[in-house]
Structure 1
Amino acid sequence: MPLTNPWLAEPMPAGRMPRERLEERIRNLLSSQNMCVLATAGPDGPLATPVRYYSLGLAVMFTAAPRSPKVRNIAADPRVSIGIFAPLVGLASSRGAQLFGSARVLAPADPERVAYWEAFRWESEHAERGRPVSEPPRDTLVVLDPVRIVYTEHWLRRDGFAARQFWRRA
């Protein structure tokens, strides 16, 4: 029987992508999706929360209520993992990333927030909530600048690269 994607057959390639190409693939994934699953650890155990996010480079950010369980968990232990994936229609389309690091909760007055906030597309969320788009929100911003990323894309096998690639902050 003919294979639609013969490059998916064994053996699996083991090649590593050059760092610049890998970062480009990761940025493409982050900028083409808008939902992730944030994993935190709390007093009752793990918490996996779907959140709408925005990206800036390899950083992922989202707003959160200061008293939400995810923010309480981050305050107690900032180590988080974020999972992002594209819709799956078959093995050839499998594409996603796991980002690891310490999340930072930036209050509205935090000067670090400005650099991230410019990339945050808050207007559509404001419109959904019936808020005026003339006034930017003063919400708490959660940012993950990852220290490690595990990127998976089976299409990479076509070019002799392993489907799973590993990135670490330099």
Structure 2
Amino acid sequence: MVTDKELERLIIDFMRTQGMCVLATCSNNVPRASAVEFFPDGTTLYILTEGGEKVANITSNPRVSVAVHTQFTGWDSIKGIQITGTAEVGKAGSKIFEEGAEAYRKRRGLKGVSIPDFMNIIKIAPKKIEYLDTTLKARGLGVRHVLEY
């Protein structure tokens, strides 16, 4: 059995090894999936973006879904997460913008680099994270786990 604390650690460690995700948003019953780079802080994700339809969608409907996964190389090595949560958009000068800029700098190993003011930062706070890891089977554990906040 995997405890919630162990599961959260597995998820955080997994997100540190990945750089891209698919962000799904929806507005007026029209879904949109965007492949974007993300910057994690614990289980919170930050995404830098100039704007576009995903930002407009989040503004009208903050509920989002995010998928992060490894490349498929075989049934015994599948790893991925599905996040269901809420998103907020931060503009320059906001707390979200500063948090996201720090997550960006930390991941990239940059100090003192500023994010241009025209950028937006999306903050995704998870409500539920579904973790799939078939390598856990070798340790006698289940391969699907759910962490809810």
**TM norm structure 2:** 0.88
Hey, what does 2:60 align to over in structure 1? Answer: 76
The within-5 A match list for 1:38-49 is 38-43=23-28, 45-49=30-34
The within-5 A match list for 1:1-170 is 16-43=1-28, 45-66=30-51, 68-121=52-105, 135-138=114-117, 139-169=119-149
Contact 1:40 1:81 in 2 (8 A): yes
Which has the larger strand fraction? 2
Residues 50-103 of structure 1: CA deviation (Å, up to 9, x unaligned): 00111110011111223x000000011000000000122111110000111110
**TM norm structure 1:** 0.78
Tell me the matched-pair count.
Answer: 145
Greater Cα radius of gyration, structure 1 or 2: 1
Residues in 1 aligned to 2:42 and 2:113: alpha-carbon distance in whole angstroms: 26
Corresponding letter in the other structure for 1:108: A
CA-atom RMSD, angstroms? 2.0
Q: Could you list the structure 1 runs, at least 4 aligned residues long, displaced by more than 3 angstroms after superposition.
A: 121-124, 133-136
Q: 1:107 to 1:116 in 2, by over 3 A?
A: same
Residues in 2 aligned to 1:81 and 1:123: alpha-carbon distance in whole angstroms: 22
The answer for unaligned runs of 5 or more in structure 2 is none
Percentage of matched positions with identical amino acids: 27
